[in-house]
Amino acid sequence: MERKKRNDRILAGGLLALAAVFLAGARLARRDAGRIAQVDIDGQTVWELPLSRDTELLLENKNGGVNRLVIRDKKASVTEASCPDQICVRQGGAGDSGQTIVCLPNRIVITIR
Ligand SMILES: [Zn+2]
């Protein structure tokens, strides 16, 4: 009887350790998948889009400047823009934390975080 109780305790301890490992793993995975593209237009944050979800969006500033933001394969990119320099379009995809896509003429900033 006494011995059985001890075994139960060991089993419970093992399960707890297993659960801790599992939780840590789940948290790590979530952090990796949890990047978002923060979109600032005219100095104001207007969108916070998860990179894990493919989407397409027209961003318009108050002067009528337009950028097409596409999120695909966990990367954000500007595929079309009304700006004269097209630097934001040529910049390509951004998917790493801290990367930015900037369209100075349209005052649109996309920050990955
Ligand atoms: Zn641009």
For residues 58 and 100, state if they share a domain: yes
Ligand 1 is an ion; its neighbours by CB within 5 Å are: 81, 83, 88, 103
Specify the amino acid at residue 69.
L
CA of 81 to the centre of ligand 1 (A): 6
Count of domains for the chain: 2
For residues 65 and 55, state if they share a domain: yes
Give dist(CA 33, CA 11) in Å, integer.
33
Q: For residue 96, give its domain range.
A: 35-112
Give dist(CA 94, CA 100) in Å, integer.
7
CA of 102 to the centre of ligand 1 (A): 7
For residues 1 and 53, state if they share a domain: no
CA of 111 to the centre of ligand 1 (A): 14
Name which of 72, 55, 67, 74 is nearest 101 in CA terms. Answer: 67
Per-residue pLDDT tens over the stretch 76-101: 999 999 999 999 999 999 999 999 99
For residues 26 and 46, state if they share a domain: no
Per-residue pLDDT tens over the stretch 18-75: 777 777 766 655 555 589 999 999 999 999 999 999 999 999 999 999 999 999 999 9
**pTM (2 d.p.):** 0.71
Give dist(CA 53, CA 61) in Å, integer.
24
